[in-house]
Structure 1
Amino acid sequence: FQAGGPHAQDRGLEAVAYAWYEQKRHPATARWSKPQRKGGPLVMDKTYTPVGRGVAVLIACNTFPTWNGYPGLFASLVTGNPVIVKPHRRAVLPLAITVRVAREVLAEAGFDPDVVLLAAQRPGERTATALATHPDVRIVDFTGSSEFGDWLETNARQAAVHTEKAGLNTVLVDSTDDYAGLLRNLAFSLALYSGQMCTTPQNILVPREGFTTDQGPRTADEFATDLGAALDKLLGDPVRAAGTLGAIVNEGVLNRLEEAATVLGGRVAHPSRELAHPEHPDAVVRTPLVARLDAGSDEKTYSSEWFGPVSFVIGTDSTPHGLRLLHETVRRYGALTASVYTTDDDVLEAARQTALDAGVHLSENLTGAVFVNQSAAFSDFHGTAANPAANAALTDPAFVTGRFSVVQSRRHAPDEESDRV
């Protein structure tokens, strides 16, 4: 269910609902009249028809191909646009099944099944680049790296381009009245799908000299140690751990994890370890790595995205210093999520204002069964289009309105109708 299957369908249905509403914003017909000095009024009958923008290309990711893919797919279809689905070469099957079923349903409904096509690529092919810049392609949906997302925004100029890219998701810790709940919640957020979610926290900002909790004060060093212990407790059962972690999706994530262990060395507060998957012996499973950094001396490290199970506890001068860092890094590098832990209403209000100005969604004092990684259709937006991590939000009116135009026709009303008016 997590970010696939029914959750993906939730997001698809949400896009359909938004698109349906926006297409119904204007009436299908209207009668317009203008009084004249002599004779009867001028009367016109007018018709307004939503018309699709053109061919859409969905460039999918390899981690959540359906959850990230269904919003664009269904938003394009319901606004009258055929869709070419270009799956990631490491995650073809989920979208291949989707396309097969879509074509069957289209045929049953009397449509040409080629309204939806699959464009799988062989290794070395640059199918996405060719499709996205084709003059007949008018819509592009993309989830993936900042590098290619930025390229699409710059070069696919003939299309409406919707991108979700990378970012530095940040947690600010000021104080808490449920330290155990904070640790459980944050540990699960770091472990879920081995940190391979675009919403996983990376930078955890903590006053280096300490913060207050219901279990007494904790320094940044102590917090990093406690977070590591919470991860060990969460992932102590191999079966449960495998279900939470999943597997490392590709060599790039594994190499990044190994690089972090090497580069950070003695600053690693909780090293990653290898686990055996009880059902899939060939799966590559790793627990999260947590390193202890400092805001002043390690900016080069924490200002880059380390996609995967790598997170940093970053010591700051104070909570205000942490708020400034949150604002600066999100505005400069982007983020899809931010989180704050505090018992101080003034700090909470400052965090809200910081998030609003930085353009990032904020979660406050999550200690229960809701996690910063997750968003619910019809209730939570995903992305804001207000910082560099994404230029679109799932799902808001802007996500659907650029996929169609309202085209008008008008004519004089029949004379008898004019007389009656």
Structure 2
Amino acid sequence: MADFMSRHRDLLSRAVEASKARAFWTPFPEIPSGKIYGETARTDGAEAFAALKDTPFEIAGHPEERRIGGEVSPWGGALGITYPAACPDTLIEASESAFDVWSEAPVEARIGVCLEALTRLNAMSFLLGHATEHTTGQAFPMAFQAGGPHAQDRGLEAVAAAHDELTRHAAETLWEKPQGKRPPIVIRKRWHIVPRGVALTIGCNTFPNWNGYPGLFASLATGNTVIVKPHPGAILPLALTVRVLRDVLAEADLPRDAVLLAADEPGAEITEDLVTHSATRIVDYTGSGTFASWIRRHAGQALFFSEETGVNSVTILGTDDFRGMCANLAFSLSLYSGQMCTSPQNVYVPRGGIVTDEGPKTFDEVGAGLAEAIDALLEDSDAAAQICGAIVRPEVAERAAEAASAGRVIRSGGETGHGRSATPWLVAVDGPAGPQEDECFGPVAFLIPCDDGEAAISAASGIAATKGAITAALYSRDEGEIERASRAFARAGVNLSVNLTGGIYVNQSAAFSDFHVTGGNPAGNASLTDTAFVAPRFRRAMVRWPEAPETREHDA
């Protein structure tokens, strides 16, 4: 049996400390450089991806009743990869069969498996980058980070949190209660870690690894077996992950079926059957609020962690750097064509305009400044493709264009000329109802006039509280205004960024520092990766018995 924990003990210690300090730290470099990952890593990754296309994807020992696969790259062309598939009952049975051995394995053995898998996944980040690029439509630099190092950071953060929770309390103790002149009551107590059972990780189409790893590794580390259910359009990144984990499990002499792939295809989805199965005890889900609501109604037997639909906002009340603000927001609005859970959508601006370093700006001038910054950013088609990426599904661009028709177009969305691409629409809307009242996933943002600054803060924080939001941004020159807004957004359960004008963007969320989603509004009930995300995945059950005096004397 391989002793992976000894190999990675220092990595774990540093991860635990980093998760407490919340300062910058990562063991997994985000730069796709041969100097970091090896001089041939880029070529090796591209060749490995090419070799996977138009072939059966093999996972040793995995349950297989048929083959499925229909992934099509948003950049063009079918992947032609088929995956082993089995019905829900077969997968659940295999997962349950592995549960006893995996759940009773020592904590350090389970943690060691997770750490070894993450380091192996990091070594293959170029392959994961190509797999992510051609299933999600992200441009390669983003796909490398989101499918590789940044996802691995989030997985490691979950493992560190799990280890901290699992080892927070003593596993055994001698409890002695004084009785005055009488002999003390002496009881030996031992606590068993009791995982919940079979966990289901439901992957999304846009960020399969980044959103999937926290729940996957939190459940594994706490002793639950996991069935990974990818989106039919983005199977490969998670299939590669499952294969690595199963290889590590086998080397650790632990059951490979502790991790399984639940591949399916459009029209023959198995998600609902897995979610509602009586053996499914944990569900991690990223996706629409509609299906999240369905899960809540139909999976009462399972602990449910969600990241759902939300309306992220920007409130512009003033700025000391108008050009810097516009450039920063142009990047945030354009990045991955607005297909991020952190992408801003609603931009609230006072009707009377704002005060800036360039003098007063009217509402329309703010809109024009944003449109000009987007045009400048995306002027070169190659650079635009690297920023905007490709649209994950055709209907995303269609819905964005339809939503844009409901207002006054400030900037028309377009194409970059690469893949299935789209640059952002910027649309002015006014009134109490319209497309801005719900999430419009994709390349469209709404400029919304408000009576004054307080009304803008109220509108932005209010929609976060009622419809959900993961991010919010504020631009203001007034410290009192900033403080009032900070309290309003905190009460709405949304993370706030203030006066970003440089190289940090509201879209970004850093592992070991930023808690992604607060769990405090309808955009999600869980936060990556706080105590509440990890600790409920297991329980402690006590066994106690009186300690005989002679045993105590012997122990002494």
Interval of TM-score (by shorter of Structure 1 and Structure 2)? over 0.9
For the pair 1:292 / 2:428, whether they are aligned, the reply is: yes
Distance 2:335 2:490 in 1: 27
Q: What secondary structure does 1:275 align onto?
A: coil
Contact 2:310 2:467 in 1 (8 A): yes
Name the Cα RMSD after superposition. 1.3
Contact 1:42 1:418 in 2 (8 A): no
Distance 1:171 1:158 in 2: 39
Match of 2:445 in 1: 311
Letter in 1 for 2:410: A
- Cα deviation digits, residues 261-284 of structure 1 (max 9, x gap): 4333xx01000012212xxxxx21
- Cα deviation digits, residues 337-377 of structure 1 (max 9, x gap): 11100110011001101011111111111111111111000
Distance 1:158 1:177 in 2: 53
- Cα deviation digits, residues 294-346 of structure 1 (max 9, x gap): 2xx15332111110011011111100011111122111101001110011001
Match of 1:94 in 2: 237
Match of 1:280 in 2: none
For the pair 1:323 / 2:457, whether they are aligned, the reply is: yes
Match of 2:510 in 1: 376
Q: What secondary structure does 1:362 align onto?
A: strand
Contact 1:381 1:395 in 2 (8 A): yes
Contact 2:404 2:426 in 1 (8 A): no
| Residues 307 and 298 of structure 1, relative CA distance in 2, 3 Å threshold | same
Match of 1:263 in 2: 406
Contact 1:169 1:335 in 2 (8 A): yes
User: 202, 213, 235: which one pairs with 2:378?
Assistant: 235
Match of 2:138 in 1: none
Match of 1:145 in 2: 288
- Cα deviation digits, residues 198-226 of structure 1 (max 9, x gap): 11000000011110110111111111111
Q: What secondary structure does 1:274 align onto?
A: coil
Letter in 1 for 2:161: Y
Contact 2:147 2:237 in 1 (8 A): no
For the pair 1:276 / 2:410, whether they are aligned, the reply is: no
Match of 2:177 in 1: 34
Match of 2:21 in 1: none
Match of 1:175 in 2: 318
Distance 1:40 1:419 in 2: 14
User: 166, 178, 188: which one pairs with 2:331?
Assistant: 188
Contact 2:403 2:435 in 1 (8 A): no
Equivalences for residues 64-75 of structure 1 within 5 A: 64-75=207-218
Distance 1:400 1:76 in 2: 8
Distance 1:131 1:154 in 2: 14
Equivalences for residues 343-382 of structure 1 within 5 A: 343-382=477-516
- Cα deviation digits, residues 357-402 of structure 1 (max 9, x gap): 1111111111111111110001001111110110101110000011
- Cα deviation digits, residues 177-214 of structure 1 (max 9, x gap): 01111011100001110100011000000011110110
Post-superposition shift, 1:419? 5.8
Match of 1:17 in 2: 160
For the pair 1:412 / 2:546, whether they are aligned, the reply is: yes
Contact 1:269 1:290 in 2 (8 A): yes
Contact 1:106 1:112 in 2 (8 A): yes
Letter in 1 for 2:412: P
Post-superposition shift, 1:409? 1.1
Distance 1:59 1:161 in 2: 11
- Cα deviation digits, residues 115-150 of structure 1 (max 9, x gap): 000001122123111101111010000000010011
Q: Which moved more, 1:105-114 or 1:1-10?
A: 1-10
Q: What secondary structure does 1:356 align onto?
A: helix
Letter in 1 for 2:480: D
For the pair 1:83 / 2:226, whether they are aligned, the reply is: yes
| Greater RCO, 1 or 2 (C-alpha within 8 Å, sep 6+) | 1
Letter in 2 for 1:309: P
Q: What secondary structure does 1:96 align onto?
A: helix
Distance 1:96 1:419 in 2: 56
For the pair 1:49 / 2:185, whether they are aligned, the reply is: no
Match of 1:106 in 2: 249
Match of 1:123 in 2: 266
Distance 1:31 1:131 in 2: 43
Letter in 1 for 2:345: Q
Distance 1:117 1:3 in 2: 22
Q: What secondary structure does 1:171 align onto?
A: strand
Distance 1:163 1:7 in 2: 20
Letter in 2 for 1:272: G
Distance 2:162 2:268 in 1: 33
User: 471, 474, 482: which one pairs with 1:337?
Assistant: 471
Distance 1:398 1:84 in 2: 21
Q: What secondary structure does 1:212 align onto?
A: strand
User: How many pairs does the alignment contain?
Assistant: 412
Letter in 1 for 2:543: S
Match of 1:390 in 2: 524
- Cα deviation digits, residues 73-107 of structure 1 (max 9, x gap): 00000000000000000101100111111111110
Letter in 1 for 2:421: V
User: 222, 227, 249: which one pairs with 2:392?
Assistant: 249
Distance 1:118 1:326 in 2: 40
Letter in 1 for 2:198: V
Distance 1:183 1:205 in 2: 14
Distance 2:272 2:315 in 1: 38
Match of 2:126 in 1: none
